[in-house]
Amino acid sequence: MSRILAPITSCPIEFTTDQSEHSHPIILVAENDESFASEDPVAASWAKTNHFTGKSGAILVVPDNDGTASRAYLGAGDGSDAFITGNLFKQLPEGEWYFANLPENPLNLFLGLGLGSYKFSRYLQTEGDKKLKFTLPENIDRSELKRLVETTFFVRDLINTPTNDMQPDTIEEAIRQLGRTYGANVTSIWGDDLLKQNFPMVHAVGRAGSVAPRIIDLRWGEVNRPKVTLVGKGVAFDSGGLDIKSANGMLLMKKDMGGAANVMGLARLIMDAKLPVQLRLIVPAVENSISGNAFRPGDVLKSRKGLTVEIGNTDAEGRLILADALAFGDEDKPDYLFDMATLTGAARVALGPDVPPFYCNNGDLGREISTLSLNIQDPLWQLPLWKPYQKKLSSRIADLNNVTTDGFAGSITAALFLQKFVDQAVNWAHFDIYGWTPAEKPAFPIGGEAQGIRTLYTFLKGL
């Protein structure tokens, strides 16, 4: 391996179950609820001076007579934002804290608290050393909270790392490191061996890169358990290939391996929690680059499944490598086959960066995923696999084209393309994620993001 993985960013908040006498309270306040300070004239005066009204995410730290913090108030707004705690780490002074009042299911408040403390500092000369300690209530599982926070940091770190330090071989090393940590078996097929072992589209897309393309395959768990196979798009950088992107279009293309990062995060959650499943993780890892041997518009590629694909655009490369990987995973007849990819700009136009669309071949499964995602505030929105649009992918010289000619329904037609390579999985779902937070929000700093994996993890816990 030519690059070295950086350690996972650690959470600077310590969560404890033992509340000390030095711990300060944080009180949640609904917007325009003035009763919180009715028995506390100091707090009432301080709130008026600082224009604190309980607006969602607003923080008011009340000092003692000696000027040190005695307590804090956190605006809960109308109560609809479960991640309002995301700004606490930045605004609270160091020390020990606890929540004096909490909703019935407070997990997301503590999750938001942890996620808001994230800072990607790998390339910064100075790092903050601020530390906070928070007391957890009895109904919060500290191990589960730690698992969710650390895994999100893991996904963010992978996506935030620029391509010079996150190439296909580094993605493989990250998966191998997961395997070593959790006792999983990891194998890979790379370079020209992809042709010998029938991954022609992975090879075609990645052969122009300076680091050889590869298929990485992790297996974990006991046989005779439900088979769960995860597939993630691992494009370390996407120049667009010969149909080259603009300069602006390439600026965020280090995140084009966000699908791989997210399924790696989901695999980490599954293995860390020791869920009773037979897990398989498949990542096709490539760089879509430009060289004399790059695949071309108009080429016809043979796929692992045997279908031939005419290349209408080399910038629609993600679906090509996913097609080979999905066919590979489908051969094993998994009970559940989930793939994630930063696949189309059309998905962002339709639903924006915060709500990834997904597609499912099983109506009951799709409804369950939708309901779960809204309940735990990890939003996903199901769009239809609209069969009449399949004809948009037709080709006069091959079984199908990798793009349409009119550009309409781009996310749907990409999902329909992928569905052509899934025959045997009764339960298949495709997630067209963005993997990035473009505007700062409490708990969600600008940069790489985990999307949908809490929902799928919650679903798999219920099997």
> For the chain, which residues make up each domain, given as ranges?
13-140, 147-462
Q: Are 328 and 282 in contact (CB under 8 A)?
A: yes
Q: Active-site residue 245, yes or no?
A: yes
Q: Active-site residue 396, yes or no?
A: no
CATH number of 13-140: 3.40.220.10
Collapsed DSSP state (helix, strand, coil) of residue 114: helix
Task: Work out the percent of the chain whose per-residue pLDDT is above 70.
Answer: 99
Tell me, what's the pLDDT at 127? 67
**How far is it between the farthest Cα atoms of the chain?**
81
What six digits make up the tokens of 376? 């735990």
DSSP for residue 251: T
In the predicted structure, residue 2 carries a pLDDT above the cut 60: no
Q: Given pLDDT bands bounded at 50, 70 and 90, which one contains residue 236?
A: very high
Selecting among 55, 245, 302, 441, the annotated active-site residue is: 245
Mean pLDDT score of the chain, rounded to an integer? 95
Q: Which residue has the tokens 């020390």?
A: 95
What six digits make up the tokens of 371? 């309901």
Tell me, what's the pLDDT at 126? 77
Q: Which residue has the tokens 């959470």?
A: 11
Which letter, b or e, does each residue of 270-291 get, where b requires 16 or more Cβ atoms within 10 Å of its Cβ? bbbeebebbbbbbbbbbbbbee
Selecting among 319, 392, 420, 454, the annotated active-site residue is: 319
Task: Work out the percent of the chain whose per-residue pLDDT is above 90.
Answer: 89
pTM of the model: 0.97
Q: Given pLDDT bands bounded at 50, 70 and 90, which one contains residue 117?
A: very high
Of the candidates 336, 348, 308, which has an alpha carbon nearest to the alpha carbon of residue 460?
Answer: 336
Segment 29-83, tens digit of pLDDT: 999 887 877 777 888 888 889 999 999 999 999 988 888 889 999 999 998 888 9
Collapsed DSSP state (helix, strand, coil) of residue 437: strand
CATH number of 147-462: 3.40.630.10
